[in-house]
């Protein structure tokens, strides 16, 4: 929680304030910025055409037919950025699910998500299927809880509770989720600001899987032998009699042109990814002119990011720059080191049994 000294009085619906008096009797307004759960609940948007209901979410049912949520996910922390999406993917141990109840803890109302009438932020769930299974990180399948945060939230933490219900209104156990929010431009972001190109990756700081990635220098080592005549070129095994042998040719050509990460102001993130992929077009080629099908591409992906220098945590939210939650991903990295020339990121993930971590290391060079 951070304190900000203001020169004048400024009020915001999502902050609370206190004032102190110094020994010279000069009033210094001191703002303790906090997320107000009531204002937050009123200002956020919840996907699947969620409706707001006054009161608290219903208590868990005692029926054995009620859905059961995996308590392993209780009090899990999710990272978010002001004015962007949070996606929570509940893990369901048993039972059918028609929707969810979700409440910002401390708010005076809750939201009811009904997948059978879903609209607004996400497409409707297919009516033929109401049973949902656990979704892995990065798989934004139906049964997710999708929340669009309001703009201009302060850096703070809040929590929500959610519970599933079935067609008979039987309610599951409640799960608590902790949401760590970064403002739209954290103070630490400037430490990683700039354009970076992935240089290499590996399993450890001294265990890189490959040498430096070569950009705009495609690999032509995948070759075969061909013959040719006036009608074109042929793989040598199928070449007609009388055709002329050709020295070996690359039958496909591939390599990177870009894999660049751009971290800019206002938490704007862009990944530019380009790849060369060409393969021989025997029908269009001749003895003197070799033609390739060209499936090369370059694509741009937008999102948001935040960096916390104290914890050395870099969060990238792939959400179409805050406008797309249909295929939302969240990547969490530890910044092992960052200079004005090089940055090393480490990502980690649990296995399916949550008893072993795997690590991936990425080295970036500044452009």
Supply the CATH number for residue 151's domain: 2.60.40.10
Do 310 and 273 sit in the same domain of this protein?
yes
More confident residue, 32 or 293: 293
Do 202 and 345 sit in the same domain of this protein?
yes
CA distance 181 to 189: 14
pLDDT tens-digit series, residues 105-124: 999 999 999 887 653 333 43
The share of the chain scoring above pLDDT 90, in percent, equals 43
Among 159, 180, 201, identify where a domain stops: 180
Q: Which residues contact 43 (CB under 8 A, 6 or more apart)?
A: 13, 14, 150
Best CA proximity match to 135, nearest among 87, 192, 84, 198? 87
Best CA proximity match to 72, nearest among 90, 49, 85? 90
The phi, psi pair for 66, rounded to 5°, reads -70, 150
Grouping H, G, I as helix, E, B as strand and the rest as coil, residue 71 is helix
pLDDT tens-digit series, residues 35-78: 899 999 999 988 777 899 999 999 999 999 999 999 999 999 88
Best CA proximity match to 186, nearest among 301, 336, 309? 309
Do 228 and 291 sit in the same domain of this protein?
yes
Do 22 and 143 sit in the same domain of this protein?
no
Do 222 and 311 sit in the same domain of this protein?
yes
Q: Does residue 205 register a pLDDT over 60?
A: yes
Best CA proximity match to 289, nearest among 235, 238, 246? 246
Quick one: tokens of 47?
């996907």
Best CA proximity match to 348, nearest among 366, 365, 364, 336? 336
Average pLDDT of 200-225? Answer: 86
CA distances from 257 to 252, 271, 275, 343 (A): 16, 13, 5, 20
Where residue 88 falls (left for φ over 0; alpha for ψ -120 to 50; beta otherwise) is: beta
Do 25 and 151 sit in the same domain of this protein?
no
Do 114 and 236 sit in the same domain of this protein?
no
**Structure pTM?**
0.64
Best CA proximity match to 40, nearest among 16, 59, 67, 6? 16
Do 236 and 315 sit in the same domain of this protein?
yes
Grouping H, G, I as helix, E, B as strand and the rest as coil, residue 37 is helix
Do 76 and 204 sit in the same domain of this protein?
no
CB 328 within 8 A of CB 316: no
For the chain, how many structural domains are there in total?
Answer: 3
Do 20 and 50 sit in the same domain of this protein?
no
Q: Does residue 133 register a pLDDT over 80?
A: no
Q: Does residue 6 register a pLDDT over 60?
A: no
CB 262 within 8 A of CB 272: yes
pLDDT for 132 equals: 38
pLDDT for 24 equals: 40
CA distances from 228 to 181, 231, 287, 290 (A): 64, 8, 6, 11
Do 76 and 161 sit in the same domain of this protein?
yes
Grouping H, G, I as helix, E, B as strand and the rest as coil, residue 119 is coil
Best CA proximity match to 270, nearest among 258, 279, 280? 258
Q: Which residues contact 144 (CB under 8 A, 6 or more apart)?
A: 47, 87, 88, 89, 90, 122, 135
pLDDT for 183 equals: 65
pLDDT tens-digit series, residues 231-262: 888 888 888 888 888 878 999 999 999 999 99
Domain span holding position 194: 189-366
Do 303 and 165 sit in the same domain of this protein?
no
pLDDT tens-digit series, residues 165-180: 999 999 999 999 999 8
Q: What is the separation of C-alpha 321 from the centre of its chain, rounded to a whole number of angstroms?
A: 11
The phi, psi pair for 237, rounded to 5°, reads -65, -30
Q: Does residue 32 register a pLDDT over 80?
A: no
When pLDDT is cut at 50, 70 and 90, the band that residue 145 belongs to is: confident
- State the CATH number of the domain containing residue 319: 2.40.128
Quick one: tokens of 123?
């497409």
CA distance 38 to 109: 8
CA distance 255 to 113: 45
């Amino acid at each position: 929680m951070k304190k900000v000294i203001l020169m004048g009085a400024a009020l915001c619906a999502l902050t609370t304030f206190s004032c102190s008096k110094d020994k010279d009797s000069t009033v210094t307004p001191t703002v303790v910025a906090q997320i107000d759960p009531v204002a937050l609940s009123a200002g956020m948007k919840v996907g699947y055409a969620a409706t707001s209901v006054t009161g608290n979410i219903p208590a868990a049912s005692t029926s054995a037919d009620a859905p059961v949520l995996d308590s392993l996910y209780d009090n899990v922390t999710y990272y978010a950025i002001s004015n962007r999406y949070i996606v929570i993917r509940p893990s369901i141990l048993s039972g059918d699910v028609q929707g969810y109840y979700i409440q910002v803890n401390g708010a005076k109302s809750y939201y009811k998500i009904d997948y059978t009438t879903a609209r607004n932020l996400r497409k409707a769930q297919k009516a033929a299927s109401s049973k949902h299974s656990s979704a892995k990180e990065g798989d934004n399948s139906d049964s997710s809880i999708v929340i669009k945060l309001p703009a201009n939230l302060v850096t703070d933490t809040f929590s929500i509770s959610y519970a599933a219900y079935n067609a008979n209104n039987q309610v599951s156990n409640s799960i608590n989720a902790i949401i760590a929010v970064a403002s739209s431009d954290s103070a630490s972001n400037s430490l990683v600001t700039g354009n970076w190109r992935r240089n290499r990756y590996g399993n450890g700081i001294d265990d890189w899987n490959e040498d430096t990635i070569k950009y705009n220098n495609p690999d032509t080592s995948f070759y075969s032998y061909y013959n040719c005549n006036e009608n074109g070129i042929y793989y040598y095994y199928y070449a007609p009699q009388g055709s002329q042998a050709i020295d070996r040719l690359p039958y496909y050509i591939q390599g990177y042109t870009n894999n660049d990460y751009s971290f800019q102001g206002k938490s704007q993130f862009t990944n530019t990814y380009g790849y060369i992929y060409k393969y021989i077009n025997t029908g269009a080629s001749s003895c003197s002119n070799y033609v390739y099908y060209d499936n090369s591409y370059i694509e741009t992906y937008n999102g948001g990011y935040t960096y916390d220098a104290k914890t050395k945590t870099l969060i990238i939210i792939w959400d179409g720059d805050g406008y797309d939650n249909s295929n939302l991903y969240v990547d969490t990295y530890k910044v092992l080191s960052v200079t004005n020339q090089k940055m090393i990121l480490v990502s980690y993930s649990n296995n399916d049994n949550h008893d072993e971590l795997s690590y991936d290391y990425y080295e970036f060079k500044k452009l």
